[in-house]
């Protein structure tokens, strides 16, 4: 090979790749508004992005899988934790993670900032990003309780605890995230109180830090309560 050939390998290699890349970048700009629901990208969402950046959230958490790996991915957190969940954690991380072995800093955000942040996270959770991350994938989570039950012959109640995110804060026989065990709940409360507690925790215990769970159907609530009662 001559130096001239080598030179042309360099020129053509670089130019072809760069042209392809620039062409696809232009096309990305053409498509991105539809993929990211840019019509819903309100001033509040933008304000939320600024809050996200102001408190450097992204150096502990990932967003779209980018950033720090020290804390959970926030792409679909809105679906996982809901508005109340996010508000509680951001406002009082020292309570939310009191029993966790990993802490989140208390950054004293104003209520307005938290509202914008939630709007931002809601918007992010709805963009069309190829159903990532897998642990929060709608496609995989849909029917996963039934699949788990059918496939492994496990209890539907336990599968619901997993599926509805209860185990993001609670723990059942060593499964789940934080050290707030559910085993004792069935012993401590009767079925009606348990239902009330899940629906609106503060109505039973006014110091409860758990956000109200109003996304459960009556049948699901029934199954969970029966499960907690039956296992004692």
Interactions with other proteins, residue window 175-204 (CB under 8 A): 175-178
* DSSP E strand stretches across 78-192: 171-172, 175-176
* 125/74 Cα distance (integer angstroms): 8
**Displacement of CA 208 from its chain's centroid (Å):** 22
Q: Which is nearer to other proteins, 63 or 118 (CB)?
A: 63
232 binds other proteins per the rule CB under 8 A: no
18 binds other proteins per the rule CB under 8 A: yes
Q: Which helix (H) or strand (E) holds 66?
A: strand 66-67
- Contact in structure between 74 and 59 (CB atoms under 8 Å): no
What are residue 62's phi and psi, to 5 degrees? Answer: -95, 155
Half-sphere exposure of 213 (CA within 13 A, CB side): 24
Give the SS3 label for residue 141.
helix
Residue list 139-178, contact with other proteins (CB under 8 A): 140-141, 144, 162, 167-168, 175-178
The residue within the footprint of other proteins, chosen from 44, 71, 84, 209 (CB under 8 A), is 71
* 80/227 Cα distance (integer angstroms): 22
Shortest Å, Cβ 176 to other proteins: 7
- Contact in structure between 144 and 154 (CB atoms under 8 Å): no
Q: Which is nearer to other proteins, 31 or 217 (CB)?
A: 31
The residue within the footprint of other proteins, chosen from 44, 91, 133, 231 (CB under 8 A), is 133
The residue within the footprint of other proteins, chosen from 60, 109, 204, 216 (CB under 8 A), is 60
* 156/221 Cα distance (integer angstroms): 11
Mask of contacts with other proteins, 103-132, x by CB under 8 A?
xxxx-----------------x--xxxx-x
The residue within the footprint of other proteins, chosen from 32, 142, 146, 154 (CB under 8 A), is 32
Stretch that binds other proteins, among 58-66, 109-117, 186-194, 201-209 (CB under 8 A): 58-66
Stretch that binds other proteins, among 21-29, 82-90, 188-196, 208-216 (CB under 8 A): 21-29
102 binds other proteins per the rule CB under 8 A: yes
Q: Which residue(s) pair with 23 in the sheet? A: none
The residue within the footprint of other proteins, chosen from 134, 138, 139, 218 (CB under 8 A), is 134
Q: Please name which of 107, 12, 127 lies closest in space to residue 63, comparing C-alpha atoms.
A: 127
DSSP 127: S
Shortest Å, Cβ 135 to other proteins: 5
The residue within the footprint of other proteins, chosen from 66, 173, 190, 214 (CB under 8 A), is 66
């Amino acid at each position: 090979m001559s130096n001239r050939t080598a030179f042309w390998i360099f020129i053509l290699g670089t130019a072809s790749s760069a042209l392809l890349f620039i062409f696809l970048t232009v096309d990305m700009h053409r498509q991105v508004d539809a993929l990211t629901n840019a019509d819903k990208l309100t001033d509040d969402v933008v304000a939320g992005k600024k809050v996200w950046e102001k408190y450097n959230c992204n150096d502990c958490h990932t967003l779209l899988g980018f950033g720090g790996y020290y804390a959970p991915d926030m792409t679909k957190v809105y679906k996982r934790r809901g508005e109340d969940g996010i508000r509680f954690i951001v406002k009082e991380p020292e309570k939310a993670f009191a029993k966790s072995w990993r802490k989140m800093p208390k950054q004293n955000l104003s209520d307005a900032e938290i509202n914008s942040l939630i709007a931002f996270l809601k918007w992010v959770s709805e963009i069309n990003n190829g159903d990532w991350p897998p642990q929060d994938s709608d496609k995989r989570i849909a029917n996963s309780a039934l699949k788990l039950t059918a496939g492994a012959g496990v209890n539907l109640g336990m599968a619901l605890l997993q599926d509805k995110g209860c185990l993001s804060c609670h723990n059942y026989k060593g499964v789940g995230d934080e050290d707030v065990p559910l085993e004792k709940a069935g012993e401590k409360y009767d079925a009606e109180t348990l239902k009330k507690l899940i629906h609106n925790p503060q109505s039973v215990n006014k110091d409860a830090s758990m956000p109200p769970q109003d996304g459960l159907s009556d049948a699901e609530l029934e199954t969970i309560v029966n499960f907690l009662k039956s296992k004692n």
